[in-house]
Amino acid sequence: MYRAIALVQLAVFLAALAVGPAAAQSSQLTVQASNEPPGLDMTATPATATSGVVFYNIQESLVKVDRTGKLVPWLAERWHTTDNKNYTFFLKKGVKFHNGRELKASDVKFVMERAMNPETKHPNPVNFRSIGDIIVKDDYTVTIALKETNANFLLYMARSGSVIYPREAVDTLKSAPVGTGPFTLSEWARGDKIVLKKNPDYHVKGLPKLDRVVYRFISDPNAVQAALKAGDVDVSFFGLGPEHVVELKKDPRFQVIVGDTTNDVILAMNNAKKPYSDVKVRRAVTHAINKPDVLKGAMFGMGKVLGSNVDPLNPYYVDVSGAMPHDPAKAKKLLAEAGYPKGFDTVLKVAPTYYYTVRTGEILADQLKKVGVNVKIEQIEWGQWLDRVFCRPASGCKDPEYDLTIIGHAEAWDIANYANPKYYYRYDSKKFQELFQKSEVTLDDKARREQYVSLQRMLVDDAPAVWLYMHPRLVVAKKSITGIWKDLPVPSADLSEVGWAK
């Protein structure tokens, strides 16, 4: 009898051991992030490292882009317009900021007016320039009146720079953002980790499923793989190379998700600087590149070859990837016509923080050398890239300091950058700018689609950059993690529905 009791007690003890770690695991998720954010204020930086932590997790917007790419009501439970110029948003009642105060229409007015103020140096002022007036009708109703129709207005309201926050938190947004999201910022140990904790007052019932999220900053893909295998991190949303994904597919402990993104990896050329101010040189560089080989070498064939800024997740996408094909002979001919019969020397600046930039650069350097373009690869720190190549205004930069660079642009619907002659490409085409502005006020879907086709073909012809490939969504997570998005139509690591299978 005593032996039977002892066996039962042993079984209970062993069961407790088994349940204990699982219970702890179910409340926390450790996420690998490639880069530590430069700051956590999405109204001050366009860095995807920032939106990957903050957007949809800490701060939210009136409208949301869901996992299918569809615009859905969020902090605004609905909206209404009769003329596509005056949009009335009806706020969801009972939504609380992390400081305990209820979200009101006056907060929306404050956020929008602050974004419109040039003194705040918002990273995406184009998103707000069509706004004429903001009228608070009551605590839960606000009307945004546009000076002119804007076909992308609702999309702009769903972007990371349009998050809603309380006015009393403005001074702490960079280091301690306050919002309405499923998580609050618990800790930021710079150089080590960012910790989020569950928002018990979240306005969506039953969410989030996690009590705690820990972001660990690991940029080296080999180190990311080692951390996954050792159990130090539970999921990698971005940071693994394709070769690691292939290997981890064989490990039964993990699930591998390969999807589409809006992350367009490009070879940017400084259009304001010789020789890239000459369209013949830019076309020559494009013809010199074998994009399928670049995709195969850099990404093991994962992803999709691109021909313009518009990616496959965009409803107006057309495949122009073959419009300016690999043709070294034509590249040499164009270089000679531009006055460079023997080619020229150039510098390619890349930030090794993003592994694909170096790998892609090495392949491109080899391909360009065959037409006489001798590329010297210069690796620089990410902060230096932002300050000098991207020419971040806060750094005091007036003119981008680069010849060539490689980077992925993750923001969806960012063709507006090519209509901005001050953007770091320094592409200045009045014809393109005029057509883009027409597309912004065209509400008829068929007509707007035709305009976007023309815009894409214009980009091919002017070749302000070489659009190389769409960086695929490569996610590796422990087998029992659920709720991860397959595709990434917006640069966010939305963790609101992520949890552990019971």
- Specify the CATH number for the domain of residue 452: 3.10.105.10
pLDDT tens for each residue of 323-357 = 999 999 999 999 999 999 999 999 999 999 888 99
Which of helix, strand or coil describes residue 128? coil
Q: Are residues 140 and 107 in the same domain?
A: yes
pLDDT tens for each residue of 219-258 = 899 999 999 999 999 999 988 989 999 999 999 999 999 9
pLDDT tens for each residue of 168-207 = 999 999 999 999 999 999 999 999 999 999 999 999 999 9
Region of residue 436 (left: phi > 0; alpha: psi -120 to 50; beta: else): alpha
Q: Are residues 429 and 442 in the same domain?
A: yes
Residue 7 lies in a domain: no
Can you give the pLDDT at residue 406?
98
Confidence of residue 26 (pLDDT cuts 50, 70, 90): low
> Please, are residues 349 and 404 in contact by the beta-carbon 8 Å criterion?
yes
Can you give the pLDDT at residue 175?
96
Residue 13 lies in a domain: no
Can you give the pLDDT at residue 16?
39
CA distance 115 to 159: 13
**What average pLDDT does range 134-155 have in this prediction?**
97
What is the count of structural domains for the chain? 3
Q: Within 10 Å of residue 285's Cβ, how many Cβ atoms?
A: 26
Which of helix, strand or coil describes residue 40? coil
Can you give the pLDDT at residue 21?
41
Which of helix, strand or coil describes residue 31? strand
Can you give the pLDDT at residue 18?
41
Q: Are residues 298 and 316 in the same domain?
A: yes
pLDDT tens for each residue of 38-85 = 999 999 988 889 999 999 999 999 999 999 999 999 999 999 999 999
pLDDT tens for each residue of 85-99 = 999 999 999 999 999
Peptide bond into 292 cis (omega under 30): no
Q: Single out the residue in 136, 165, 194 at which a domain terminates.
A: 165
User: Is residue 6 scored above 60 in pLDDT?
Assistant: no
Give the per-residue SS3 of 437-452. HHHHCCCCHHHHHHHH
- Specify the CATH number for the domain of residue 86: 3.90.76.10
Q: Share the mean pLDDT of the chain.
A: 93
Full domain range(s) for residue 249: 27-34+182-260+473-500
Confidence of residue 502 (pLDDT cuts 50, 70, 90): confident
Residue 47 lies in a domain: no
Can you give the pLDDT at residue 126?
85
**What average pLDDT does range 206-213 have in this prediction?**
98
Q: Single out the residue in 165, 195, 211 at which a domain terminates.
A: 165
Can you give the pLDDT at residue 296?
97
| Residue in 62, 35, 328 with CA at minimum distance from that of residue 190 | 35
Out of 56-65, 131-140, 386-395, 472-481, pick the least confident. 386-395
Residue 9 lies in a domain: no
Dihedral sign computed on CA atoms, order 305, 306, 310, 315: negative
**DSSP track, 364-403:** HHHHHHTTTEEEEEEE--HHHIIIIIS--GGGT--S---S
- Specify the CATH number for the domain of residue 202: 3.40.190.10
pLDDT tens for each residue of 39-52 = 999 999 888 899 99
Q: Using the 8-state DSSP alphabet, how is residue 101 labeled?
A: P
Q: Are residues 77 and 157 in the same domain?
A: yes
pLDDT tens for each residue of 295-329 = 999 999 999 999 999 999 999 999 999 999 999 99
**What average pLDDT does range 370-386 have in this prediction?**
96
Q: Are residues 283 and 297 in the same domain?
A: yes
